[in-house]
Amino acid sequence: MSGKPRLTYCNGRGRMEPVRWLLAAAGVEFEEIFLETREQYEKLIKDGVLMFQQVPLVEIDGMKMVQTRAILSYIAGKYNLYGKDLKERALIDMYVEGITDLMQMILLFPFSPPEAKEKNLDSIKERATNRYFPVFEKVLKQHGQDFLVGNKFSWADVQLIEAILAAEEKIPAVLSGFPQLQAFKIRMSNMPTIKKFLQPGSPRKPPPDERYIETVLKIFKK
């Protein structure tokens, strides 16, 4: 082991992508093992590596961590991206949970049957523009600071820029009514670690394609 965190998942976004984002934003290099067959996945279960028989799996600091939320909160705490006190942490948690609800819809969208895609896309747009993005637009406008919590870069900012870019891939004009979020997107995209992650050749994964969907179904669907 090189000492770098090691991530085990499929070669695509899924539930590992926020982990990649957070590590990259913290300036942490990591290694990846990509699952390509059901046999690889079953071997991890047989070897007792996956506590709940689920990936993502992140090996960090001598631990084999599962459960995306636990992984992310550990990384955020380790790299000082989790607020200065319990109140800030609670705010970050609330923001992250809200963003995760929106990202869950985006994550599942590629697996929608063809006849449901238009309806599901409308649902993503409706939730993004009426429920989730207005919250962050209001927060940024009210406190007039660059970041969501404590005027300091945090896990919540990383989750939000990931969600904004993912939503824009599906709905290019999704930020048209949100000037604060438009400015936030530009600020975050120009932060050195995030700017690096957004460059071609970085560990950031492209939007799911047919090959990724087939791989996921082959490995995880019995």
**Residue 1 is assigned to a structural domain of this protein:** no
| pLDDT tens per residue across span 116-129 | 999 999 999 999 99
Do 124 and 31 share a structural domain? no
Q: How confident is the model at residue 33 (pLDDT cuts 50, 70, 90)?
A: very high
Do 162 and 95 share a structural domain? yes
Mean pLDDT score, 88-94: 97
Do 62 and 103 share a structural domain? no
What CA–CA distance (Å, rounded) separates 183 from 37? Answer: 42
Which pLDDT value is given to residue 221?
81
Q: What is the CATH number of the domain that holds 203?
A: 3.40.30.10
Q: How confident is the model at residue 1 (pLDDT cuts 50, 70, 90)?
A: very low
Q: For the chain, give the mean pLDDT.
A: 95
**Residue 98 is assigned to a structural domain of this protein:** yes
Which pLDDT value is given to residue 3?
86
**Residue 43 is assigned to a structural domain of this protein:** yes
Do 94 and 19 share a structural domain? no
Do 97 and 54 share a structural domain? no
What CA–CA distance (Å, rounded) separates 5 from 32? Answer: 8
**Residue 21 is assigned to a structural domain of this protein:** yes
**Residue 159 is assigned to a structural domain of this protein:** yes
What CA–CA distance (Å, rounded) separates 184 from 168? Answer: 14
Judged against a pLDDT cut of 80, whether residue 42 lies above it is answered with: yes
* Domains held by the chain: number: 2
| pLDDT tens per residue across span 141-180 | 999 999 999 999 999 999 999 999 999 999 999 999 999 9
Do 95 and 148 share a structural domain? yes
**Residue 12 is assigned to a structural domain of this protein:** yes
Do 185 and 94 share a structural domain? yes
What does the longest C-alpha to C-alpha distance in the chain come to?
Answer: 52
Mean pLDDT score, 64-76: 97
Judged against a pLDDT cut of 50, whether residue 51 lies above it is answered with: yes
3-state secondary structure the chain: CCCCCEEEECCCCHHHHHHHHHHHHCCCCCEEEECCCHHHHHHHHHCCCCCCCCCCEEEECCEEEECHHHHHHHHHHHCCCCCCCHHHHHHHHHHHHHHHHHHHHHHHHHHCCHHHHHHHHHHHHHHHHHHHHHHHHHHHHHHCCCCCCCCCCCHHHHHHHHHHHHHHHHCCCCCCCCHHHHHHHHHHHCCHHHHHHCCCCCCCCCCCCHHHHHHHHHHHCC
Q: What is the CATH number of the domain that holds 148?
A: 1.20.1050.10
Do 151 and 68 share a structural domain? no
Domain of 143, in residue numbers: 86-190
Do 170 and 118 share a structural domain? yes
Do 186 and 206 share a structural domain? no
Do 204 and 186 share a structural domain? no
Do 97 and 51 share a structural domain? no
The model's pTM is 0.94
